Amino acid sequence: MLEQTRNGWSALLTFATRTLGAHLPARFAKLVARFSVARAGTVAVEFGLIAIPFFLIIMATVQTAIVYMAEQELETITEQASRYILTNKGSSYTQTTFANNVVCPQVVALFDCNKLMIDLEDYGTGTSFSDANTSTPKLTFDSNGNVTNQWNYTSGSPGDIMVLRIMYQWPIFLKPFAYNLSNLANGNRLMMATAVFKDEP
């Protein structure tokens, strides 16, 4: 498109120079002739037209990859942490010590451990796995944007069905450009990994 437009203008100016050259001042005619064959700056103009969408595509690809990596890491962390509960080691912890001694050491690089939300529910022995609540909770916030939900930590007893949910608010940075991975009203993405298991006897 740009090449056709440029060629069209070049042909028009060349025609005008040759046709009107005899009636134009020599200096002006030379300027018109030079402009008709000028190519400087066209690459910059063409790059300027595609640079913004190109870099947006790159950033969207990077953001998507990081989100999937983070979700996979959260799944791994939850699976490993659930083994402490499954093998009856969780009874010696509180929610804080479980986070500091079990969960946080498994965080590689993508998460701020202080912002992980941990919820451990005990459904007892009289229920089946299908009765366990594994749905994503609705977060509530105070006026400063801090989460106000109260999370449980009940280590359970041998034979109890347990549900461990670990959640994290992931920031999304491409919302203004119509590529929105957020699922929260504050613009973040709530990631959640869940492990459902029965405590060993």
Express each pLDDT in 103-152 by its tens digit: 999 998 899 999 999 999 999 887 788 889 999 999 999 999 999 999 99
Which pLDDT belongs to residue 190? 97
CA 116 to chain centre: 17
CA torsion through residues 13, 19, 22, 24, sign: negative
Distance CA 116, CA 118 (A): 6
Tens digit of pLDDT for each residue in 141-180? 999 999 999 999 998 888 999 999 999 999 998 766 667 8
8 Å CB contact between 90 and 120: yes
45 CB-near residues (< 8 Å, 6+ apart): 2
Domain boundaries, the chain: 2-36, 71-198
Residue type, 159: G
- Model-wide pTM > 0.85: no
